Structure 1
Amino acid sequence: MRFSLNIFFPVFILASTTVMAEVELSAGSGISIIAVNGVEVESDSLIGNNISATLPNGINQILVNYSAEIESSGDLEIETTNPHIIVFKAEDSRLVLSAPEITRISDFNEFDKSQQWKLADGSGSSISYQSKPLIKEGFQLSRDYASELQRFNQSGDALSINSFAPINRPPVTLPINSVVSGVNISSLSNGSADNADSVNLPEKLLQYWYLKADAETRERFKVWISNK
């Protein structure tokens, strides 16, 4: 199920800052934020690019892609990477996610396969992160990012949401696929494995944001859900 940010998740966008979320993320040139913590971001922009988001303190998962102008046969063509999942930990900070300037298709393809993102705070200091591309095999005219990300987050991968602390719950990490690109994701979390305690993450997120919302927003939610 996909929900409008205008009703459920206004705090994720910098334009509506609140005290609940304290990490402000800005995306550099060519980067678009597709989803935040498992929830696809809907954009009011005609071109569909989201370049900023406000996140809760702690460990966060974002889904982003990068577009670059690549010269081919004397013409410039826009190439867009696979979406990349990025997981990082930050508190009370302003962060900028950027990518190297790419003009050659060989460099573009290499970027799409590796961890060449740069995540830095306001002082320019690098922030540790883990990332991997979300790849869909076969021919595709379009992609359902929400469904793909939901399947990924239920997979037990080290970068899936269930491998680190869900909102308002003790940290949980899974022993499966605990190493990505040679780096252990456990460095981002101090949790211990708890395979018996399954989490319905969409339900937890809905409960969390409903309880955090003001009375007017709750009423709009009730009206919206009654029409579905």
Structure 2
Amino acid sequence: MTSLTVQQVNANLFIGHAMKSTYKLAVFLFIAILPSLGYSESILKLGEGVNLFAINGKEIPKGSGFLSTKSEFSLPDSGTNQILVSYTADIKNGDSYELEESELSVIKFAASDQQITLSAPSISSTKQLEAFSTHLNWSLTTSDNTPVSYKVNRLPLEGFRIGVDYEQKLSEFNRTSAEAAIPPAEAIAPPVEPIDAHDTEQAVILKMLQHWYKLASPETREKFKASL
């Protein structure tokens, strides 16, 4: 086995340390410039009884909406966001209580690296729920209880909601002149998965590739696949 001099060992240790330091610096710089590139995130918190079905035209995973137990969601910090929601109220009917759901609401608002909470007024009767579905008087506030301005419309939907393609419904809605609609030209990038400073080099690269792949058009994706 070839022996190494003290100088060679020290040199190898120095190079290894330098490479690790360079990588950590690269990760730090990448994380630091994310906000300036529009990749930072805001957090949407759901109040009691609020059901979230889609974010920026994309349906959230199954087990969400009425059946979801998750109350916090990431939003891309790109200015305007659009969400599809409803509210479930516990309505007293005689000696028992029944769960009744409001009409679907499309809400458009601006977020900028902040925590936002969406909640509904206290509802205890069918009449109050019907009034809420008409007026859509949601409450949208920041962590310091500052009101957030928003636009809202009902999503036209008839019959049962089981099996509804919310992405298609929102695509149709966004081609209208409704206040809460977002034209296709203003489509918002999907949320970015946060990058942890402790991720390995390959994990960071993977997250970056996944992010840019989501942003690419179908044609660009096919060209990318063909180039591999």
Partner of residue 88 from structure 1, selected from 106, 109, 125: 109
| Superimposed CA distance per residue, residues 89-122 of structure 1 (whole angstroms, 9 cap, x where no aligned partner) | 1212111111111111100100011131111111
Partner of 2:60: 41
Residue 84 of structure 1: how far off its partner (Å): 0.6
Change (3 A) 1:50 1:164: farther
Is 2:154 aligned against 1:133?
yes
Partner of 1:216: 206
Residue 53 of structure 1: how far off its partner (Å): 1.4
Is 2:176 aligned against 1:155?
yes
Partner of 2:49: 30
Partner of 2:26: none
Partner of 1:175: none
Partners of 1:77 and 1:66 in 2: CA distance: 14
Is 2:135 aligned against 1:114?
yes
Compare CA radii of gyration and give the structure with the larger one. 2
Partners of 1:36 and 1:95 in 2: CA distance: 14
Q: Contact 1:43–1:50 at 8 Å: present in 2 too?
A: no
Residue 86 of structure 1: how far off its partner (Å): 0.6
| Superimposed CA distance per residue, residues 116-136 of structure 1 (whole angstroms, 9 cap, x where no aligned partner) | 111111111111111111121
Residue 156 of structure 1: how far off its partner (Å): 3.8
Residue 141 of structure 1: how far off its partner (Å): 5.6
Report the secondary structure of 2:103's partner residue: coil
Structure holding more helix per residue? 2
Q: How many residues end up aligned between the 2 structures?
A: 167
Partner of 1:123: 144
Change (3 A) 1:79 1:55: same
Is 2:99 aligned against 1:78?
yes
TM-score between the two structures when normalised by the length of structure 1: 0.62
% identity of equivalent residues: 28
Is 2:76 aligned against 1:56?
yes
Partner of residue 145 from structure 1, selected from 128, 148, 166: 166
Q: Contact 1:25–1:55 at 8 Å: present in 2 too?
A: yes
Partners of 2:117 and 2:181 in 1: CA distance: 22
Change (3 A) 1:166 1:141: closer
TM-score between the two structures when normalised by the length of structure 2: 0.62
Residue 50 of structure 1: how far off its partner (Å): 4.2
Report the secondary structure of 1:161's partner residue: coil
Q: Contact 2:108–2:151 at 8 Å: present in 1 too?
A: yes
Residue 145 of structure 1: how far off its partner (Å): 1.7
Residue 34 of structure 1: how far off its partner (Å): 0.9
Partner of 1:101: 122
Partners of 1:105 and 1:126 in 2: CA distance: 27
| Superimposed CA distance per residue, residues 148-197 of structure 1 (whole angstroms, 9 cap, x where no aligned partner) | 11211223433212188434xxxxxxxxxxxxxxxxxxxxxxxxxxxxxx
Can you give the 5+ residue segments of structure 2 that lack an aligned partner in the other structure?
A: 1-33, 196-202, 215-221
Partner of 1:4: none
